[in-house]
Structure 1
Amino acid sequence: MEPQLQLKRIAAAITLAVAASTTVYAQESGKIAGKIVDIETLQPISGVSVSLSGTNKGTSTNDKGEFILDVSTRGTIKIVSSYVGYNRDTTSVILNSDISNVSIALVSENSALDEVVITRRRSQVSELAILDERKKSNLMIEKIGAQELSRKGVSDAEGALTKMSGVTKSSSGSNVFVRGLGDRYNSTTLNGLALPSEDPITKNISLDFFNTSVIQSIGVNKTFNPLINADVAGANIDILSKNLTEDSFLEIGASSGINTQAINAKDFQRIDGTSWFGNLSERNIPITDLTKFDFHNKLNTSTVKNPINSSYSIAGGKRFQIGEGNLNVFLTGNMNSEYKYSKGVLRQTTTTGTIFRDQESVRSDYNVSKTGMANLRYTFGRNYVAFNSLFINDQTQNYTRNYGLDASVDPNDKRLFRRQQVLDNKIFVNQLLSNIELTEIWKVDLGVGYNVVKGLEPDRRTIVLREPNGGGTYQLLAEENSNQRQYSDIDEKGWSTKALATYKILNEEGLDRKIEFGYNGEFVDRKFNATIFNQAPIGDRTINSDYVNDLDQVFNSANLASKLFEIRTGRGQSLDPYWYTASKKVHSGVAMATYQFDEKLTAVLGLRFDNVFQDVIYNTNIGNTDLDGYKPFKKNYVLPSLNLKYALTEKSNLRASGSMSYTLPQFAELAYFNNAGANGSTQGNKNLVPVENTNIDLKWELFPNQGELISVGVFYKNLKNPIAQTERGSNVITFYNVGGKATVAGAEIEVKKNLLKTETDNGSNILSAGANVSYLYSSQRLENIETLFTKTGGTSKLQGASPLLLNADVSYLLNGKGWNLTSTAVLNYFSDRIYAIGAQGFNDIVEKGVPTLDFVSSANIHKKWGVSLKARNLLNPNVRLERKADNMGNIVLESYKRGVDLSLGVSYKF
């Protein structure tokens, strides 16, 4: 990269950080006032020669690095800065008023002017750099960087996305929604390569696995172009992994905190066979003989006395000079543990709206996650080769207890439901990436990723007791899912590849003209197994009242030998598991041409050809591929796209985008397996077909000053054969192509503004605010050929689509002598949305909208110590699912509070 071009990019990124107040002297012809600093130290440079390009008119900077130049004509002015020991710099300035201000950063001739230096300086002002990148990009892309994540107190990628326009998270535990489109309509990548999901039910990996210690930035592309995965309608979410941004460092950190409901709970329960660190005493199926009771884990739980949240982290890196290049090594590791406790209600109704289940629900949740990442990056000249390895082990331990009315058998019956569940997921991601500039006009971008997912759910323990007429006497139930222990696992391996070449078309005007073409590939194989053991009572099913809270006295070796119950699997006396295998192969040819007509208009025309094969083979508790006649899916897609950018002024752009894409059914949405839950069950639908998407976007954006943004956009999507989560009879959640088409349209407004800025000897104190508001309209006709829907022939909103989304934040940066303090309040809100579309007489289930308010304050002391205070979910609203009811108020099916999370952390940088 030419030194002048590098300096321009650097200066654009750090302008606001190094800008200082200047004296303004109005003249009729105009003036340019500015300040010049050293790129490495950010200190002002005095005595720099500053002149107008092509003239002898010039001046020099004072002891504060400031200068003023008289200019006789207005328009685009080129300023040349030179100083002994520094590279010469040429900066363009637009003078359209009496005075224009500019900030310039000079690079020492002895500095290694490479990507490392640029990255280090850009990272210090990443919010500015990211806005600058957004302004200059030919595509509609939104990003949030490490600095903004820290300022807003965001702890993971999922939390980061909910701060962006049109994005929200389901309060009931689903992944993120983008413009009302949920998990199946989005895609997730790491450094541009596809990522797997750890959960057999979802397409995308849980974004809360990615804590901010491994994130450099997160990009959200809501419009399609050929270089991203075509299996997308909502957004492609690309996580850029963190790399070394300074010569060397070592930092350690720790924090501790509480959840207000967990710390006050007298009965927070830990599952037997688990530990605080996440160890499991039993990972594999212990039973080889159904006549022997070889389960090691107890049904009884233990009480946690001090449910204190904690977090520990270490990160470090070093830069090595090797040959003509530099090797950057970045390592990080952390462990987070968190307790959650909730108490609420759980209900279920008949098709007429009659409540037949009305229970108190108590949940104890403990999550422990461990993450390690190694990033090695060798930079030589304009090229780099990088290896990135990421390991995540995330474990959730959940104990649920529901008690109350259950009129499934008798109108006055009560039931006691208990479930102990552990989800232990391991993800291992390895990527080899490179970017090589072969010549001035040829560049290649190569990458290959190998991903391994191990998802384990060992010994899910479910017990349901019937209390006839609520009389205090309990009975065991004979149904298969009432006295059950389930072991399931998922093993997935996948490859993702990219090989892209860029041909730059040189021209005298220096306009952006290039052709990009190449190949993408994604290959995934998954194996899922589930073995279900039913502890079936024999004879009298009444149990001693003393055993209600001590069920290990009921299910044990002695009682099995005495024939009081027997162990059988879902397949009778066979130990063969339920299973499904799934595979996906996508070969993609990509081509994209960028043509900048002049300084204002740029067009990006793209074409992607996808050869798609997807197959699911299953033998489960409700179906068998051989008997059901399922056929694999094969299809070729030709997907055009067009992106236009028109620079209205130096500070504003008008953008337009149109594209076609598709959405494949997820593996678990196709696999015919019934997974029983506390208040119903989920199962796949083997008859699903892919969705075909048409996407149109229009956006205007203004960058009034550096660090500021005003953006207004509208969008329209047409979905052919949309898929939706649907409730059908017997409280089963499943999936259907709900009709011929769905329409999604909306508007988004985004604002970032510096409200107040004061200059002191210690730096700039800044009060800033940001907000984004999204309005969403969605409609789909319910035309399923099986005529399941309660509103068949009518219309419905899209499942997961909130008509209104709001995200807002206010931050204040205070600089003292040797320290700084940043405090931020963040508000999020989404309005009511459909959780599941009603079928077979059931009305829709609605997820009620809730506001969330977070506050974070962090201090940096002498660039060594860091202190942070976080308070999340301060409003602690009720999370509610409701069923629409005819001629009466909605019926609350589920309601609970999550509590307020408080934490205090400290870090030290060596």
Structure 2
Amino acid sequence: MFSNKKLLTNKVSAAVLLALASTAVNAAESDDELMEEVVATASRLQGSAAAVIEERKSQAFVADLLGSEQISRTGDSDAASALKRVTGLTLVGGKFIYVRGLGERYSSTTLNGANVPSPDPTRKVVPLDMFPSGIIENLSVQKSYSPDMAGEFGGGAIDIRTKSIPSEFVFKLNFGLGYNSENSDDGLSYDGGSSFLGEDKSRALPETVRRNVEQYGVINESILASTLGDADKAAQIVDETVLAFDNSNHIQPESLDPDFGFGFAVGNRFDIGEDTVFGFLLASEYDNSWSNSKERKVRFDTADVGINAIEDKKILSTEHEVELSNILNLGLELGKDHKFETTTIFLRNTRDKVDLEQGDDFDYDANADVYGILYEQRELITNQIRGMHNFPSLMNLGVDWQFSKSKATRNAPDEREIVYLPLQGEMALATDSVTPSLTRFFSELEDKAETFQWNATLPIYLDSAEIELKAGADFSKKWRTSNGLFFQYLSKFTPAETGESNYLAGNIDEVYTDEVLTSDSTKFQQLLRVDDYIAARMLDAYYGQFDIFFNDKYRLSGGVRYEDWRQAVVPIGFEDNKKKALQPTAISEEEFLPALSFTYIMSDEQQVRLGYGKTLVRPDLKELSPVRYLDPLTDNPVFGNPDLKVTEIQNFDIRWEYYTPTSDNLSVAVFYKDLTAPIENVQLPGADESNVSFINAQSGEIYGTEIEWMKSLDFMGDGFDRFFFSGNITLSDSEIVIPDQYSYFSLANQALLPITKDDNAYVTNPTRKMTGHSEYVVNLQLGFDSYDGEHTASLVYNRFAERIMSAGIDRMPDLIESPFDSLDAVYTYYPTFETKLTFKVKNLMGDSQEFTRNGEVAEAVETGRSISMSFSWEL
């Protein structure tokens, strides 16, 4: 293919330049009179960006790329924070990327081109904070659709490309320290026995509890007495179950330690025979961090006189996070025409969170103290094997293939909520027969995926044209299981019936003795509430694509993709006190998805692209399941909707690009997307506005322009040639129209219930901007590279416009996320050729995250400023 030829030419040119530089250095060492010094005039960023820019230029479809050196310049620690620097991308919750104002459901994420499962129970895309920057070679964001990509394409497709086999021996060590300004205050800790690697097996569901649940069903004394016909046996089972738990609290104040981390990488390649090369790369990183945050949450209610605040809480939250990443790459080259590679990746992220909510609580009708304890462990294991083959005797036919097998898990054992209420002048455990003093939740999720892909490429060279014909297939399977168990501790009496001697005052560690837990004053029970479901999806896809380059000026690319997609979700409910599979929700479709791109190359420095593509966004597994689950990003309850339909999108793009030999560049893009039946999240009927579900809107559209640049400041005079200014701005608008009637699934009724525009539960704003859309996104960077190459510095700024996070109902205003001004500073010093010292300061402006309803603060989070230092040594 001509694009591959261009890349090969660039690689050869780079090799020639390196050889010439090496020769010059050797000559300087042997003859100081001829040459005393060789000085590189290009900045580090410009030099590293050259290869990335060349690949971007050679793409047939509109795409943006971010190289490892660019990620290093901005000091971003993971893929999520790095991607927010790309034009038109915004970061939500530190984990998920919105592309061109469309939510994370409208973007897909692949790892080295293969789909990966997600450990997030509420989203189909893998949280991007799980991928540390140390294993990333570059990030690709394709914004216009091509047939060799999966048809689930909305705002864009993100491909995380990991580091591959090195060209020579490499050995690297690094370590770092960090501190957050909010950590100067004492935090909260839960002594759950977490290990150095973040694992905490002490909170696992006790075997006795698991056995009793499997044998007897719901652990509830009255239900068991009825089903067993033996009240004494029922009481014995309940007592045995409650005593099997660790019923202590362990929450205590604690000063937070500094953050720290370390890592290493080693790799090499060896000639093991004639025309046979073997190589490997092994890398590992460990990061241990603590953070305090101060939050405020306000809950509103609608009334005839307007919007009233019915709850106002202050929250102190402490998180301890441990991240571990390992990557092993193996490669085998058989001559010039056959290459095999394997990639094994293990990622683990554990989060220990303790928070204290204080203030008016609407649910408890009191000034309550509510403690929350959460331990969450997410893991992703991926094994990939791929081959690349060229057959010169078959007209240089190229064939590549890949098989990927992945498993993602999320385990959140013993998530607790402890409620203290004012009683007779003291804060006591909730002591009425309705309010639970302690709630515990055990949840497990496992997501597996298998993908097999192959592509065949045939280049054809004519006098005035180069043609590439491409065909391929993609077969993928995905399975998911989600399980949850809920337990609560209630009192068998109300405060009005108690005397001063027997209400549960004091710390839970002192109050919940074995005697109290098995006495007549305490009621322990498993809740008749299930978040369980089993789901699977299968996709068979085939595509054909052409790429024609003629007269050195025009490029026409396009093709069509056929997809056969099937998906089924089986929710789990109760029957006769035992779990039972309920009515499954199944959906399937076949679709042809065309795409076309035209590029006009005006000169070596300028080109214009036009693109069109038809794509889809399908409901995810959990979104079709009529169960309740918690969103770990917001802690809000989410309810599935089996009535969801597939969204169809018509995508249009045009982009002008200008590049200079010094890597200065400028691009201007215009895009438009027309959506049929887009999926939106809306508030559900009821008193709690945090309960949300999904519906299909009637229609939606989004359009805008993107401007991106990088410019040396040499025009400003002597010395300014070491400075550069880069950035991007996205300006866009969107509109979504909600139909006059839509349905939601009611757990209470176990049925779909309609909502019309005449109902109080109907959305407040049926015509509005799309959820998650920002009217503008700004990324700016001012960089400096010293003449001697020993110092680099960057100021990096990011800001997005306000965006709707969830739509209100019954005159309740939409929940709006306010703009956040992020200003970071990064300085790097290179004492020697092998060493690097980096200082980073994040959130210099000390901005806070804020959400509002009708201009009133609904939630605010203070995260503080953070400072870190890292040192690396590389051979």
Q: TM-score range by the shorter chain?
A: 0.7 to 0.9
Contact 2:100 2:155 in 1 (8 A): yes
Q: Which residue of 2 is the match for residue 417 of structure 1?
A: 370
Are residue 736 (structure 1) and residue 691 (structure 2) matched?
no
Q: Distance in 1 between matches of 2:827 and 2:765?
A: 53
> Shift in Å at residue 757 of structure 1?
9.0
> Shift in Å at residue 472 of structure 1?
5.3
- Equivalences for 1:137-216 in 2 at 5 Å? 137-170=59-92, 172-173=93-94, 175-216=96-137
Contact 1:860 1:866 in 2 (8 A): yes
1:583–1:625 CA distance, 2 compared to 1 (3 A): farther
Are residue 290 (structure 1) and residue 271 (structure 2) matched?
no
- Aligned equivalent of 1:666, options 599, 620, 626: 620
Q: Which moved more, 1:361-370 or 1:465-474?
A: 465-474
Helix, strand or coil at the partner of 1:502: strand
Q: Distance in 2 between matches of 1:624 and 1:159?
A: 45
1:545–1:123 CA distance, 2 compared to 1 (3 A): farther
Q: Which residue of 1 is the match for residue 324 of structure 2?
A: 370
Q: Distance in 1 between matches of 2:156 and 2:54?
A: 21
CA RMSD after TM alignment: 3.3
Q: Which residue of 2 is the match for residue 131 of structure 1?
A: 53
> Shift in Å at residue 523 of structure 1?
0.5
Helix, strand or coil at the partner of 1:505: strand
- Aligned equivalent of 1:307, options 242, 253, 257: 257
Q: Distance in 2 between matches of 1:625 and 1:533?
A: 16
Q: Which residue of 2 is the match for residue 778 of structure 1?
A: 734
Helix, strand or coil at the partner of 1:149: helix
Unaligned regions of 5+ residues in structure 2, if any? 213-236, 743-754
> Shift in Å at residue 226 of structure 1?
1.2
- Equivalences for 1:673-752 in 2 at 5 Å? 673-675=627-629, 680-728=636-684, 729=686, 730-752=688-710
Identical-residue share of aligned pairs (%): 22
Contact 1:351 1:841 in 2 (8 A): yes
Q: Deviations over 1:344-381 (max 9, x none)?
A: 21111113321111111111011110000001122331
1:546–1:266 CA distance, 2 compared to 1 (3 A): farther
Q: Deviations over 1:26-75 (max 9, x none)?
A: xxxxxxxxxx762573737999xxxxxxxxxxxxxx96799xxxxxxxxx
Q: Which moved more, 1:606-615 or 1:345-354?
A: 345-354
Q: Deviations over 1:696-732 (max 9, x none)?
A: 1111010133321100001011111111121223224
Q: Which residue of 2 is the match for residue 402 of structure 1?
A: 357
- Aligned equivalent of 2:398, options 406, 419, 443: 443
Q: Which moved more, 1:229-238 or 1:669-678?
A: 669-678
Contact 2:764 2:810 in 1 (8 A): no
Q: Which residue of 2 is the match for residue 596 of structure 1?
A: 549
> Shift in Å at residue 734 of structure 1?
2.4
Structure 2 letter corresponding to 1:302 = Q
- Aligned equivalent of 2:198, options 278, 290, 297: 278
- Aligned equivalent of 1:618, options 556, 566, 571: 571
Q: Which residue of 1 is the match for residue 539 of structure 2?
A: 586
1:627–1:386 CA distance, 2 compared to 1 (3 A): closer
Are residue 466 (structure 1) and residue 421 (structure 2) matched?
yes
Q: Deviations over 1:601-625 (max 9, x none)?
A: 1111120100010111112599999
- Aligned equivalent of 2:772, options 770, 783, 800: 800
Q: Distance in 1 between matches of 2:837 and 2:816?
A: 41
Q: Distance in 1 between matches of 2:316 and 2:777?
A: 30
> Shift in Å at residue 249 of structure 1?
1.9
Are residue 823 (structure 1) and residue 793 (structure 2) matched?
yes
Contact 2:199 2:377 in 1 (8 A): no
Helix, strand or coil at the partner of 1:38: helix
- Equivalences for 1:623-642 in 2 at 5 Å? 629-642=583-596
Structure 1 letter corresponding to 2:374 = Q
Q: Which moved more, 1:424-433 or 1:685-694?
A: 685-694
Contact 2:168 2:269 in 1 (8 A): yes
Q: Which residue of 2 is the match for residue 891 of structure 1?
A: 856
> Shift in Å at residue 851 of structure 1?
0.8
Q: Distance in 1 between matches of 2:74 and 2:181?
A: 21
Contact 1:602 1:645 in 2 (8 A): yes
- Aligned equivalent of 1:869, options 824, 829, 839: 839
Q: Which residue of 2 is the match for residue 859 of structure 1?
A: 829
Give the aligned length. Answer: 806
> Shift in Å at residue 877 of structure 1?
1.0
Structure 1 letter corresponding to 2:874 = K
Are residue 558 (structure 1) and residue 523 (structure 2) matched?
no
Q: Distance in 2 between matches of 1:126 and 1:693?
A: 36
* TM-score, with structure 2 as normaliser: 0.86
Q: Distance in 2 between matches of 1:540 and 1:127?
A: 69
- Name whichever structure is richer in helix by fraction: 2
Contact 1:515 1:594 in 2 (8 A): yes
Q: Which residue of 2 is the match for residue 512 of structure 1?
A: 466
> Shift in Å at residue 270 of structure 1?
3.5
Unaligned regions of 5+ residues in structure 1, if any? 19-35, 48-61, 67-101, 105-121, 885-889
Q: Which residue of 2 is the match for residue 530 of structure 1?
A: 484
Q: Which residue of 2 is the match for residue 54 of structure 1?
A: none
1:190–1:679 CA distance, 2 compared to 1 (3 A): closer
1:781–1:468 CA distance, 2 compared to 1 (3 A): farther
Contact 1:525 1:583 in 2 (8 A): yes
Q: Which moved more, 1:330-339 or 1:346-355?
A: 346-355
- Aligned equivalent of 1:426, options 379, 382, 406: 379
Contact 2:574 2:580 in 1 (8 A): no
Helix, strand or coil at the partner of 2:50: helix
Q: Which residue of 2 is the match for residue 70 of structure 1?
A: none
Are residue 318 (structure 1) and residue 268 (structure 2) matched?
yes
Helix, strand or coil at the partner of 1:649: coil
> Shift in Å at residue 563 of structure 1?
2.8
Q: Distance in 2 between matches of 1:467 and 1:257?
A: 40
Higher-RCO chain (CA-CA 8 Å, sequence separation at least 6): 2
Structure 1 letter corresponding to 2:388 = N
Contact 1:700 1:711 in 2 (8 A): yes
Q: Which moved more, 1:739-748 or 1:553-562?
A: 553-562
> Shift in Å at residue 627 of structure 1?
9.3
Structure 2 letter corresponding to 1:336 = D
> Shift in Å at residue 629 of structure 1?
4.9
1:42–1:447 CA distance, 2 compared to 1 (3 A): farther
1:759–1:495 CA distance, 2 compared to 1 (3 A): farther
> Shift in Å at residue 137 of structure 1?
2.1
* TM-score, with structure 1 as normaliser: 0.83
Q: Deviations over 1:309-348 (max 9, x none)?
A: 0111011111111221322211100111111111121111
> Shift in Å at residue 147 of structure 1?
1.0
> Shift in Å at residue 671 of structure 1?
2.1
- Equivalences for 1:827-838 in 2 at 5 Å? 827-838=797-808
Contact 1:12 1:132 in 2 (8 A): no
Contact 1:299 1:461 in 2 (8 A): no
> Shift in Å at residue 461 of structure 1?
0.8
Q: Distance in 2 between matches of 1:42 and 1:194?
A: 45
Q: Distance in 2 between matches of 1:771 and 1:123?
A: 13
1:858–1:173 CA distance, 2 compared to 1 (3 A): closer
Q: Which residue of 1 is the match for residue 219 of structure 2?
A: none
Q: Which residue of 1 is the match for residue 852 of structure 2?
A: 882
1:550–1:336 CA distance, 2 compared to 1 (3 A): same
Contact 1:346 1:679 in 2 (8 A): no
Q: Which residue of 1 is the match for residue 559 of structure 2?
A: 606
1:344–1:469 CA distance, 2 compared to 1 (3 A): farther
> Shift in Å at residue 276 of structure 1?
4.8
Q: Distance in 2 between matches of 1:302 and 1:276?
A: 20
Contact 2:180 2:867 in 1 (8 A): yes
1:681–1:747 CA distance, 2 compared to 1 (3 A): same
Q: Distance in 1 between matches of 2:137 and 2:644?
A: 38
Structure 2 letter corresponding to 1:147 = E
Q: Distance in 2 between matches of 1:194 and 1:895?
A: 35
> Shift in Å at residue 666 of structure 1?
1.7
> Shift in Å at residue 479 of structure 1?
4.5
Contact 2:541 2:562 in 1 (8 A): yes
> Shift in Å at residue 822 of structure 1?
1.0
Helix, strand or coil at the partner of 2:57: helix
